[in-house]
Amino acid sequence: MTLLTIAYANHRPETLPLCQPLMEEHRRIILEEPPHPLFSKMIRGQVSTEDYLLDQDIEYPAFSQQQCLMLQRFFLDGRELLQIEPFVEHLIQVQEFFAEGSGPADLNKSTTHYQVYLREKEATRTLIDFYQAVRGDDFYQIIESVKNFAWADAKRFALRDRLRAQAIVDNLDDEQPTCVEAGPMHLLLYQNIRTLVPPGWSLKPVFVEHLGLRQLGLTSGLYGPGDQLTVHCLFNRQIKTELANLLCARTLVFMKIVRKDEYSGQNGPFPHLRDEAQAAVLVNQLSFEQCRQLFWKIRDQSVEAATGLVREHISGTPAKPFP
């Protein structure tokens, strides 16, 4: 049997030391990104990592820089590196199609381009609806906007994972143990590959950050309340309205007390994972009504101030003023 591993991990600097030994057990590594014209030169050291990353929309610059250096080492060790993310590739092509003067009406409705366009359009529309609702004064409208985005995002994940699973299976080499990079929300990728993979392959999902949680002495924290809701949507699970509303309300608080920017290397082990796990512990203690009360207090606060107010609400002890 040839090993096919899906390495589930967020794109953060702290995950690379966990991913590296796992990836080193394989001869082929499939990255979660569309093909880039400079990728081959970058891994060979013919183009600097800075020039390679220059025109890309990078959420975590330190992660991307460190990953490039790791990939260069993998290449020198003789590993084969592939970039496979068809959804994003199709999306780029659609954007280029529009940039040339065409419009949505010009897309062939029978093509994958059109499917990608619809899923991205719906997710973007519901996200904009959320941004508009969250500045208003109707808490229940905000809750509905969170639910609508979760469903749209789940549909987008479903198409991404279906397209990527097929492309991965089409590129398998029976003689090469293969590791597939994937974000933790791409749970349907495993299911899709399992139905498509030919005989002779052993498919294994590994949630890399569980190792980090164990090192931190934590038993949970990988999925916040918003991700939990999206997972329910991914698998079309029946969920009671009260639970869905509670997850949405907790998400509104969770988003305000979790840092969005990239931690430096001076914040102890697994700072993102620790931060999100601690935020999850806090919001999981809140009822829907408590979230509603807190939301108006923390909506315009900094992360630090919002966290202090949430802790104060839970403990009943006034928080120290944040400078």
The Cα 246–Cα 14 span in angstroms is: 30
Which of 80, 2, 32 is CA-nearest to residue 184?
32
| The predicted structure's pLDDT at residue 266 | 64
Q: Using one digit for the tens of pLDDT, what is the confidence trace for 16-28?
A: 999 999 999 999 9
Indicate the DSSP class of residue 69.
H
The Cα 208–Cα 27 span in angstroms is: 19
Amino acid at 152: A
Any idea how long the chain is?
A: 323
What is the gyration radius of the CA atoms in the chain, in angstroms? 21
pLDDT band at 322 (very low <50, low <70, confident <90, very high): very low
Q: Using one digit for the tens of pLDDT, what is the confidence trace for 140-173?
A: 999 999 999 999 999 999 999 999 999 999 999 8
Q: Confirm if 4 and 201 have CB atoms less than 8 A apart.
A: yes
Q: Confirm if 235 and 151 have CB atoms less than 8 A apart.
A: no
- Between 70-74, 263-267, 299-303, the lowest mean confidence (pLDDT) is in 263-267
Q: Using one digit for the tens of pLDDT, what is the confidence trace for 171-219?
A: 998 889 999 999 999 999 999 999 999 999 999 999 999 999 999 998 7
| The predicted structure's pLDDT at residue 265 | 60
In order of their start, the domains of the chain are 2-84+171-207 (3.40.1010), 88-162 (no CATH), 221-323 (no CATH)
Contact partners, residue 206, CB within 8 Å, separation at least 6: 5, 6, 7, 8, 22
Does pTM top 0.85 for this prediction?
yes
Phi and psi of 302, rounded to 5°? -70, 165
Phi and psi of 5, rounded to 5°? -105, 135
Which of 119, 147, 127, 131 is CA-nearest to residue 232?
147
Which of 294, 296, 299, 302 is CA-nearest to residue 322?
302
The number of C-alpha atoms within 13 Å of 271 and in the hemisphere containing its C-beta is 12
Number of other residues whose CB lies within 10 A of the CB of residue 210: 19
